[in-house]
Structure 1
Amino acid sequence: MTFEFVCHATPSMRSVWGPGALGQIAVELDRVRAESVVLVCGRSMSADDATMSSVREALGTRLAGVFSAAREHSPVTSVEEAARVIEDASADAVIALGGGSAIVTARAASILVAEAVPVRELATTRGADGRLVSPRLAAPKLPQFILATTPTTAYAKAGAAVRDTETGERLALFDPKARASVVIFDERLAETAPSALVVSASLNALSMSVDGVQSARSDPLAEAYFAQAIREIVTTLPCIVAGDEGDTGSSRVRLMIAALMAGHASDFVGTGISQPLSHAIGPVSTTSNGNVEALLLPHVARFNMDVTSGQLAKVGGVVSRERVSAHDVPGLLEAFLADIDAPTTLREIGIEKADFPTIIAHAHDDWSLTRVPKPIDADGLRALLEEAW
């Protein structure tokens, strides 16, 4: 087998899990000599007195400030407020406690503090030639730490997408220096998340993995990460949905590790059409991005079929644990989503056909659409939305 040229440079990140994982945060902060840290979380987490007490105890006198208003889709106003807390505390490290919203808010706020210019001057834009261009953000960034509560691919990312609530635009900030140094998976923290949030976040990781396996770029290391992530999610997620004895801190940590693998792998090969569409649909729907992305998967698989059949067959083999045809995969995905009672149509999540033009416009300007295995234009996006509706 002949490989194309690949440079697979794995980012430096320390991952910690197992008994007493939360206590390791002090060791990791000592490693970078952090003495004044700001904790970023959402309001529901800040209201959990027992969890906050445990985290405060683990951080000790290092805790210099708390921003407890991280919100879904990381609105610019929320990120700017977090940046002010970080500045006021003269922080030398930032810790996100929670899932994707807290992580992205912490990362974006740290970029704002370091660069000291308005967020729009830092965002990826479309150049005169139609290509998306990310400005080089040269300022050093504060070390980022994550105390995870939900499975999210955001652990592994260098980007931070924030939302301008006035225009509805998704502003993408990209800076590898803002990537997390350490992510800690503690079972007690994992047990704090609502089951519905665990499910939707895991579906995001599953979607990223299924899309990633279909990438036009060959990278066996990334493919191995994706395959293991899919295997873990389709095995473990039904236990969470059933709410039986399988819904434990340990099983949730397994989903978190799967999400970490999916996030890492997608940096090397890109993702698929489901992701930019979910970014555009999520904020105007009645559900989370993960649910949106997952319901689109079977439709995207059918669209890709003529160019990704070999890779789709691999997906089917992992999902069904037996040899299957690529043409069976959309049905396998639909059956899995039905089994866990996930939404399967855009109608179910409050999307109207009148929303399609805005969704298509925002998806077209999403950077992730530049790395899909089969290019798609506005007419193709509309046809896909019609099929999913």
Structure 2
Amino acid sequence: MNAPAIDLRHSTPAGTIYAGPRSMAALGRELERARCRSVVVVTSPSLADAPSYRLVVETVGNRIAGAFTRVRQFSPTDVVTELANVIAQAEADALVVLGGGSAMVTARAATVLAGESRPLEELLTRRDDHGKVINPRMPQPKLPIWIVPSTPTPAMAKAGAALRDPVMGRRVAVFDPKVRAAGIVLDPTVLSSSPAGLFVATAMNGLSMGVEGLLATSGDPFAEALLFQGVREIVANLGAVAEHTDQFEPRARVAMGAILAGQGSDYSGAGLALALSHELAPKSTVAGGVVETILLPHTVRFTAAVVAHRVPVVAAALGAVEHTIDGIEIALRQFGEALGLPERLSQIGLTEPNLQAALEHAVEDWAMNARMPRRAGLDDLEMIVDSAW
């Protein structure tokens, strides 16, 4: 008898998503249902005086035990440690995170650090001698995290945390499935508050993860469904966000697409464009999603060379006229052009002399894992960056 063709493990994490004008009230009910009495609110300095922050604090009410408003871009490890100390001192029993990806990632990593009570260095994702990604065991319970996003980042759906080590000058990561969000609240006031340009740039991270994820999920129809619909929601609605800057409906649809892409990419890997962006974006003048937009046509062409059967699926998700690799590239370029995004790496403040070390770090990035259909070495990354320059 032939062995079965299907060999699949697909676990569906628990979580609740609320969207619409009643969503913030639902957050209050969820905190009450969970009997939370010591909640720490986490956000960035840019939102600390905003109506969105006041709305969240009002919703948390007398459950609030502390506020951390010092989140920084790229989630530096020293800020993570600072928040972990706040969580411990407040004896927190939940976190409510307001803002974008940096706030979410910082909160997740700090929750792990506070829960495990070990040095951060002992908790970092690493590679063994064979290049396999190893996540240390995290046996301790973790606090529930509720997310109130202001931008449509796939980080809403994740359990990992990519951090910036300011001493080493590179990305590190922490992963614990217990810090995946207990719930996500898509509130009209909060989600409509971020500038359209920031919203668009962030959404492109979800598009990148969705597209590259579709190249890597031929054996998992559940992941493919998540990724396909995630890409469709972003492509169908992001133009309306750019055109009608603060309308909630298209913003909510894009945010839902980012959540779907974040969920689906758990089973496919995050993608080559993201791995490169982790190193290039901090050296540029633009957000990581914009860097991924520039790289995506080139990374897709690189990967598609070994998974040609996935090309029509990606093309269909993007709404490409031709279901070929050229059709995908045209669709991606036209989409980025319509949104006013740059097309070349040379346009975003990068200088060629500072790229070599970044590429060497990107080879070891946590996003470069065995689930990628085609693993890229340093020479491959140099070729991709040259073609995108």
**TM-score relative to the length of structure 1:** 0.95
The farther-off stretch of 354-363 and 178-187 is: 354-363
1:193 aligns with 2:194: yes
Distance 2:323 2:126 in 1: 42
Distance of 1:173 and 1:277 partners within structure 2: 18
Write the mapping of 1:220-299 to structure 2, written as runs, cut at 5 A.
220-243=221-244, 247-299=246-298
CA contact (8 A) 1:146 1:180 kept: yes
Q: Aligned to 1:368, what secondary structure does the other structure show? A: coil
Q: Distance in 1 between matches of 2:278 and 2:250?
A: 27
> Residues 279 and 33 (structure 1 numbering): CA distance in 2 closer, same or farther, change over 3 Å?
same
Instruction: Return 82-91 or 174-183, whichever deviates more.
Output: 82-91
Specify the SS of the correspondent of 1:271.
Answer: coil
Moved over 4 A (4+): none
Does residue 372 of the first structure (1) align with residue 372 of the second (2)? yes
Contact 1:356–1:385 (CA under 8 A) maintained in structure 2: no
Give the gaps of 5 or more residues in structure 1: none
Q: Secondary structure at the match of 1:171?
A: strand
The reply to whether residue 75 of structure 1 matches residue 50 of structure 2 is no
The separation in 1 between residues aligned to 2:96 and 2:239, in whole angstroms, is 31
Per-residue deviation at 1:36?
Answer: 0.6
Q: Any unmatched runs of 5+ in structure 2?
A: none
Distance 1:7 1:319 in 2: 27
Give the secondary-structure state (helix, strand or coil) at the position aligned to 1:367: coil
Cα separation, 2, equivalents of 1:374 and 1:323: 23
Aligned length: 385
Counterpart residue number, 1:386: 386
Aligned partner of 1:178 in structure 2 is 179
Matched residues in 2 for 1:265 and 1:3: separation? 22
* Aligned match for 1:13, one of 15, 24, 40: 15
Matched to 1:383, the amino acid is M
CA offsets per residue over residues 230-274 of structure 1, 9 Å max, x none?
111112111222246xx4022111111111100000011223211
Taking only the aligned residue pairs, the percentage that are identical comes to 38
Q: How far apart in 1 are the matches of 2:117 and 2:167?
A: 22
Aligned residues of 1:208 and 1:275 also touching (Cα < 8 A)? yes
Does the aligned pair in 2 maintain the 1:207–1:293 contact within 8 Å? Answer: yes
* Counterpart Cα distance in 1 of 2:322 and 2:129: 47
The residue matched to 1:269 in structure 2 has which SS?
A: coil
TM-score by length of 2: 0.95
Within a 5 Å distance, the mapping from 1:45-64 to structure 2 comes to 45-48=47-50, 50-64=51-65
> CA shift at 1:321, angstroms?
5.9
| Equivalent residue runs for 1:1-389 within 5 Å | 3-48=5-50, 50-215=51-216, 217-243=218-244, 247-320=246-319, 322=321, 324-370=323-369, 371-389=371-389
Q: Deviations over 1:168-224 (max 9, x none)?
A: 121110101111111111111101112121111100000000001100552111111
How far did residue 322 of structure 1 move? 4.8
**RMSD over equivalenced CA pairs, Å:** 1.5
SS at 1:97 equivalent:
strand
Offset, 1:308: 2.4
Q: Give the drift of 1:323.
A: 5.3
State the 1:316 CA deviation.
1.6
Separation (CA, whole Å) in 1 of partners of 2:102 and 2:301: 31
Q: Which letter does structure 1 place at the counterpart of 2:263?
A: H
Q: Aligned letter for 1:368?
A: A
